[in-house]
Amino acid sequence: MENVSLSSITLPEVELLVQELYKPNTPQTISRIQEILQTLQKSPKGWQLADGLLGRPDNNVKFFGALTFTVKLNTSETLSDDDALSVIQKLISFLIAFLRDGTASFVIRKVCGTLVAYFIRYPQLWRTCVRHLSYCLESRTSIPVKEVDKFSPFQDVARALDTESYYVVTWFAQMLADEAEKVDTKSTKYLPVHEAMEVNAPDVAILLGRGIHPADAQYTRPEDSISCLEAWLKYADCRPKDEVIKPLQLLFPMVFSCLPDDELYGPAVELLTDLLDKYESFFPRECLDSLYAIFEGEWGREKLRSALSNNDMDDECRFGLFLLAATSFAYTRDRDDGRFKQLHISVFSMLGTKGYPGVDDKVFVPILEYFASRVEDLMDDLPCPPNEEMVLWVRAAIPAILPKIQYPPSSVYNSWDSTERIAFADARKDVAHYLEGVYPLIGKKLFAELEEKIRWCLTNSLWAELEAAAFCLCALADAIPEGDPCDDLLTNVFGSPLFDSLRQGRDDIPIRARKTCLCLVERYSDYFCDHPQLLPAALNLLFSAVGDRHLALPSSKSIYTLCSSCRILLTPEANAFLEQYESLRNFELDSLAEERVVGAIATIIQAIPEHVEKASAFQRLLTMIGSDVENSLQLFSYGEGTLIPPDNPIIVRTYDFAQRPTTPIPASDVSLQLAIRALRCLSSIAKGLQEPSEALIDLESDDNNTQVPKEMNLDQIHIDIINILDRLRVTFSSSSEVVDVICSILRAGFSEVEPGPFVFSPQMVTDFIIAPWLNRTATVVNTASIFVTSLSSGNAKKSVGEVLEKLLPWAFGLLHQLSEPEQDPELTQYGLEFARTVMTKRPDILMSQPANILEFLFEFAIKVLHGNEPLPKAAAADFWTKFITLKVDDQNTQAIVDNVMAYVGPKLSESLVRNIGGKALRSELDKLSEPFKKLIARHVDARHWIEAALKDPAFPGDKATASDKETFLKKVISLRGNRTTNEVVRQFWLACRGSDFAYAS
């Protein structure tokens, strides 16, 4: 094979290669054969090769011959009319021969695909392709294309086609529509294709009229004809012309007639459903009467009865979707007709089908979407009085919906796969959205019905029904207007024996019902602020559940929300909460649940008005977290090789149940996990201590005048926390998670305006940031950037100079250590963002850095623009956009800025122009256009810089001509940086890349 000579290869040798391609061979052998054959296909000999291969007896060889014809049609230069016509005659001759000699159907289908490729390439030569192909196959002769009009009416020929020929023409017609749909409908280049499709549509309708309404269904395979019709409808949807649509509409009654046929019901009902759903504009008004007749007749009534009795789930789904599509269509055309109302009733009745939504009931969600659409229509009609009848329907749907979202028994639920579980959960979410939409129409009546349902189920211990009603009540939490609370109804729920029943831990209450009821507390946390008498019962329930690993997450979430909302009411009980937490630490406690609990306690501590009492409560909480830190560091000190047995209590404290090891584990691993747990708790505490977002802030105050009593000893608290963080940084900063959490703790204090445990002094934060880190330095640099931004008010302003004096050399030193920007894209991105932040806040300090530092920074930012990493490149573009437009009051600083711009201007222009000239990704163009536009608008030398860059030998856009470049330059200079420049840049990029990249934006 290695010695094959492509110039002298013979047809038998090619045939052998094709046969080898279909035999078991090594990947290398197959790849080499493919390479040889593809080269031959694209060579000038390809036409002869295709002709010869189609004449061989082997089916695989024939298939490859047809494929070669397709390749030549798609890649060769345009043939003369005579040569092109000879190709079509030859292909049809082969097709006729294949029908005679019993060639495999996959070969015949491939030839049909080749004929379609011919039509797409030469539509002007084969305009009546369906008619011509039918005449040729019926006469078993390759008739010249120009003589097609001399023969019998096409209706006669379509009826006269034998079965095999009919199949072939149908296959061809379907492939024709499939491929024409992909052809650009807006390009004038392909206008002849679409004009020829309009010519062929009536012939296709005549052809399919025989197949869809056959005398003998087994004789003509009507399902193939229905599939072909669907393909033509899809094409018509892309190019809706009456010349195509009207002939196809004549076939719709024939499709209706196929519905009672058991063999044809499936394809017919699916086509009609798609027609009503996706192509409703094609459906003529007169066909609506046929739809009504179908559903009112015996067949429609029997199908509905069968669907409601669940005899066949697949059939139920098909019929249900068809009924729904017909009802939606009738609603838009004829909603006042009594027959529509009967369809609507039928749809409503299907809410009562058996099965679980998304699992074995595939119709529930579409029906729910139908009713949700009716709700939207009613809302759109406001403030006009809504249609009372439709309001009754959307309200009546709710009792039918509730049983559908009840969880099944555990044995059934556990038998579902992950896809089915997700589908059922999504269906429940859809119900929640529906109820939110309905509430403005029904109001408190809906809430009252659900409240009554919950109490009735509680009395009768109907836990699955109670869970569903509670879930729905949760969904309404955001729908209730602020001025119209439902507190009286909520009191009926929360003041009932519900909390007592849940707290008793009764075995007959399913876990899911408990979870949903706990979420109910969280969703209505504001209610408890207005009704504090019920707060103790709610909190007792939640804390009793947080130790249960099945209920830990929902209960802890509710604890956090409740404590955060009611923090002022709960401050007298701060010590009780601390004791409760201290008790919980002695038992198995989920890590995320613990984070939420300590965060909840922190919100209460934040609200304590007395500073000393607040400090005392915080110190007590910090001491408990500190004990975990000490245990972590002690475990780390054991050294390599020390193993901790799985029954050691520290394992229970460190790991959640699902992650708990069953064999001895290195002490260093346990140490790290315990450190992360402690840090995450500390982070949650820091966030909990933040001032509530609704707290009033004096925006006109320049100074932070809050006096903190010395007894609070805030400075020592800061030292204690920083000491914890520093010890963990030194020990564990090789862990990216440790670094991330430490930085989140630091950031928690940046937004605070009042003194607090996590509001460290600028000097303390700066010294901590510039300490050595073993991993994730990019995150630390990003934290430094956020820190600098926060130093913009009060006394912190005075520290900016001192802070930047340390941070700038540290950050630029990290960038300098990179061998190239793409060595650490994240550090590069955050480093440039940090530089831009400093440039924005204090340009005088940035520009006063030593000359070698500034030179490195600006060259680094240009080098990043040359790179391929999208996020660093975007950061560099933002950096340059800011620098190009930088104006400062200080004349000395402005002089330095101008000198730097004069030095980097040509290099920056070169980098931007190279990106715009094809190097950048299309998605990067808008971002890169910003500095480009600012450069043109702000600097008089921009034209010369850009012109030089366009003429540079290294310019990547070799497909752009000198004229393209000149036109581009004139346009962008004349636009002076306005928004239209983005489109000019995009067009120039396309010209540089070539037309292959001209896809739709």
pLDDT in tens, 64-116: 999 999 999 988 888 999 999 999 999 999 999 999 998 999 999 999 999 99
**Residue corresponding to tokens 């369906």:** 130
Q: Please tell me the predicted confidence (pLDDT) of residue 695.
A: 55
Residue-level pLDDT at 1000 = 33
Task: Give the residue ranges of the chain where pLDDT is below 70.
Answer: 1-7, 214-220, 311-312, 505-506, 694-709, 711, 793-794, 995-1001
- Judge whether 273 and 231 are in contact, CB under 8 Å: no
Q: pLDDT digit string (tens) for 121-163? A: 999 999 999 999 999 999 999 999 988 877 778 999 998 999 8
Burial call 294-325: b when 16+ CB within 10 Å, e when fewer: bbeeeebeebbeebbeeeebebbbbbbbbbbb
The pLDDT of residue 311 is: 62
Residue of 837, 846, 847, 833 whose CA lies nearest to 791:
837
Whether the CB-CB separation of 130 and 173 falls below 8 Å is answered with yes
Backbone angles phi, psi at 476, to 5 degrees: -85, -5
Q: Are 237 and 274 in contact (CB under 8 A)?
A: no
Cα(412)–Cα(359) distance, integer angstroms: 11
Token pair belonging to 6: 């492509």
Assess contact for 119 and 176: CB atoms under 8 A. yes
260 neighbors 202 (Cβ within 8 angstroms): no
Model pLDDT, residue 6: 67
- Longest Cα pair distance anywhere in the chain, in angstroms? 110
Q: Please, are residues 887 and 902 in contact by the beta-carbon 8 Å criterion? A: no
d(CA 60, CA 781): 63
The confidence score (pLDDT) of residue 387 equals: 78
Q: Are 145 and 88 in contact (CB under 8 A)?
A: yes
Report yes or no: 985 and 915 within 8 Å, Cβ to Cβ. Answer: no
Q: Is the peptide bond between 214 and the residue preceding it cis, with omega within 30 degrees of 0? A: no
How far is it, in rounded angstroms, from Cα 181 to Cα 369? 30
CA 497 to chain centre: 43
Pairing of the two strands 665-666 and 643-644: antiparallel
Closest of 14, 486, 988 to residue 6, by C-alpha: 14
Q: What is the pLDDT of residue 999?
A: 32
Place of tokens 């937490």: 581
Taking Cα atoms as reference points, which of 355, 360, 351 lies closest to residue 419? 360
The distance of Cα 793 from the centroid of its chain, to the nearest Å, equals: 39
| Adjacent-strand bridge partners of 482 | none
Do 763 and 799 meet the contact criterion of CB atoms below 8 Å apart?
Answer: yes
What is the reported pLDDT for 709?
A: 65
